[in-house]
Amino acid sequence: MPKDGIPSLQSPVDIASLVKEACTAVTCAAANCHKDEITRLMERVLPHIKLDDFSDTPVNARGYRRKVLYSHPSGFFSVLQVEWHPGAETPVHGHNAWGCVGVVSGEIGCETYAQCDKGENGVRSTGKITAGKGAIATVNPNPEGIHRLFNPTDKVTTTIHVYGMDLSDNPCAINVPYGPSAHRN
């Protein structure tokens, strides 16, 4: 039998349940442990997450749509849903806060970068990976974790992102762009 407030893993987990657990996790943990607490929560609920359709949100010029599902009133974290169409990709970027990303469906590619004096836009590629349904990755604030995400498949991919800051007014505030293609959408 599950503890109070923790959804049963035999049934789908909705965003409200994820948010309730995330609020408990960050409220009860030291600030430097928030990313780890959210990662443990995502490991438990990601296989059972049920997301609402958000086809009313436009796809941006880079081929994906994103929607802020929740922002904690004290700014501890925000939850975003992202839908990646075939060929979609972000600019190369870092983040202004920690983050945790889970693949709900499909596959997402990630190319990582390191800062350098020479090379394109002051960064150089350090490798690419592809992650499928159920994969979870974390990122530390900039300059650690410079990367770009992309959909390498011919199918739509859905991811859920939890970032350690309030993104209710500007979902792009999480990003620290590298190079000329700043994050506009």
Q: What is the pLDDT of residues 35-68, one digit of tens each?
A: 888 898 899 889 889 898 888 999 999 999 999 9
Residue 184 in this model has a pLDDT that exceeds 50: no
Residue 93 in domain: yes
pLDDT band at 178 (very low <50, low <70, confident <90, very high): confident
- Residue 170: CATH number of its domain: 2.60.120.10
What integer best gives the mean pLDDT of the chain? 86
Q: For every residue of the chain, which 3-state class applies, written as one string?
A: CCCCCCCCCCCCECHHHHHHHHHHHHHHCCHHHHHHHHHHHHHHHHHHECCCCCCCCCCCCCCEEEEEEEECCCCCCEEEEEEECCCCECCCEEECCCEEEEEEECEEEEEEEEECCCCHHHEEEEEEEEEECCCEEEECCCCCCCEEEECCCCCCEEEEEEECCCCCCCHHHHEEECCCCCCCC
The better pLDDT of the pair 117, 159 is held by 159
Residue 31 in domain: no
Take residue 96 and report the two structure tokens written for it: 């202004």
Range with the poorest average pLDDT among 110-119, 124-133, 153-162: 110-119
Residue 158 in domain: yes
Q: If you average pLDDT over each of 7-11, 14-18, 89-93, which comes out highest?
A: 89-93
Cα–Cα distance measured from residue 47 to residue 13, given in angstroms and rounded to the nearest whole number? 9
Residue 183 in domain: no
The reported pLDDT for the residue numbered 122 is 79
Question: How many structural domains compose the chain?
Answer: 1
Residue 166 in domain: yes
Residue 8 in this model has a pLDDT that exceeds 90: no
The reported pLDDT for the residue numbered 28 is 75
pLDDT band at 182 (very low <50, low <70, confident <90, very high): very low
Residue 92 in domain: yes
- pLDDT above 90 as % of the chain: 52
Residue 26 in domain: no
Residue 16 in this model has a pLDDT that exceeds 60: yes
Residue range(s) defining the domain that contains residue 119: 54-177
Residue 14 in domain: no
